[in-house]
C-alpha cells in the first residue's frame, strides 16, 4: 500500500518536472537560435583582405543558415507538441514563473 502511494506521487512529480523542463527548453530555444545564427560573424569574410583565410562558400553559408532554421522549427514543433500533450493533465498552475 505504502509502496503504491509512493510510486503514484513520484510519477506525478516526474510528469510535472518534465513539463517544467520542457518550458525551460522552450525559453532556451531562441537563445540557442540567436547564437547559431550569430556564428557566421566569425566566418572568414571576402572583405577581410587578401591575407584572410579563404572565405566560406555561398552554398555552404546558405546550407548552414537554412539547416539551423529547420532545426529550430522542428525543435519548436516538438516542444509545442509535447507541451500541448501535457497541458491537459498538468496540475501545476500555468504561471509558476515569469
Partner 1 sequence: MISVNQLVAVSLVYVAFLFAIAFFAERASARGRSGWLRSPLVYTLSLSIYCTAWTFYGAVGYAARSGMEFVTIYLGPSLVMIGWWWVLRKLVRIGRAQRATSVADLISARYGKSNLLAIVVTLMAVVGVTPYIALQLQSVTLSVSIFSNPTDADVLSQSTATFWVACGLAIFTVLFGTRNLNANERHDGVVIAIAVEAVVKLIALLAVGIFVVWGIAGGIGPMLDRIDSSPIGEWSMDRSRWVALTALSAAAFLALPRMFQVMVVENEDERHLQIASWAFPLYLMLMSLFVVPIAVVGLDILPAGSNPDLFVLTVPLAEGRGGLATLSFLGGFSSATSMVIVATLALSTMVSNHIVMPIWLSTQAEGAQVSGDVRNVVILARRASILLIIFFGYLYYRLSGGGAALAAIGLISFVGVAQFLPAMLGGIFWRGATRWGALAGLVVGFTVWVFCSLLPSFGPDAVLSAAVFDHGIAGLGWLRPQALFGVEGIDPTVHAIVWSITLNMVAFLGVSLVTFPQPLERLQGAQFVNVFDHSTQARGWDAAPATSEDLMVMAQRILGPADALALFRAEAERQGVTGHLPEPTQGFLQALERELAGSVGSATAHAMISQLVGGASVSVEDLMAVADESAQILEYSNRLEAKSAELSRTARQLREANEKLTALSVQKDAFLGQISHELRTPMTSIRSFSEILRDTDELEQSEKTKYASIIHGETIRLTRLLDDLLDLSVLENGQVSLNLDTGNLNDVIGQAVLSAGGDRSTRLSVRHENAELDHPLTTDLDRLRQVFINLITNAQKYCDAPQPELHIDAMDGGDGLRVVFHDNGTPIPAESRSLIFEKFSRINDKDGSGAGLGLAICREIMARLGGDITHEPRSDGNAFIVHLPVRAAMAAQ
Interacting residues toward partner 1 by CB under 8 A: 23, 26-27, 29-31, 33-34, 37-38, 40-41, 43-47, 55-63, 65-66, 69-70, 72-74, 76-77, 80, 83-84, 95, 98
CB of 44 to partner 1, least distance (A): 7
Q: Which is nearer to partner 1, 7 or 63 (CB)?
A: 63
Q: Please list, in sequence order, all residues whose beta carbon lies within 8 angstroms of the beta carbon of residue 56, skipping any fewer than 6 positions away.
A: 40, 43, 44
Ramachandran quadrant class, 56 (left: phi over 0; alpha: psi -120 to 50; beta: rest): beta
CA–CA dist 19, 11 (Å, integer): 12
Dmax (CA) of the chain: 77
Give least dist CB 15 to partner 1, A.
Answer: 19
Minimum CB separation of residue 12 from partner 1 in Å reads 24
Taking the least distance from each CB to partner 1, the nearer of 12 and 48 is 48
Amino acid at each position: 500500500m505504502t509502496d503504491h502511494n509512493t510510486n503514484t506521487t513520484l510519477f506525478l512529480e516526474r510528469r510535472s518536472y518534465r513539463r517544467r523542463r520542457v518550458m525551460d527548453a522552450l525559453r532556451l530555444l531562441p537563445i540557442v537560435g540567436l547564437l547559431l545564427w550569430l556564428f557566421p560573424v566569425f566566418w572568414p569574410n571576402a572583405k577581410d583582405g587578401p591575407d584572410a583565410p579563404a572565405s566560406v562558400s555561398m552554398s555552404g553559408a546558405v546550407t548552414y543558415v537554412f539547416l539551423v532554421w529547420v532545426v529550430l522549427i522542428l525543435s519548436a514543433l516538438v516542444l509545442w507538441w509535447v507541451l500541448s500533450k501535457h497541458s491537459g493533465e498538468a496540475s501545476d498552475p500555468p504561471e509558476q514563473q515569469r
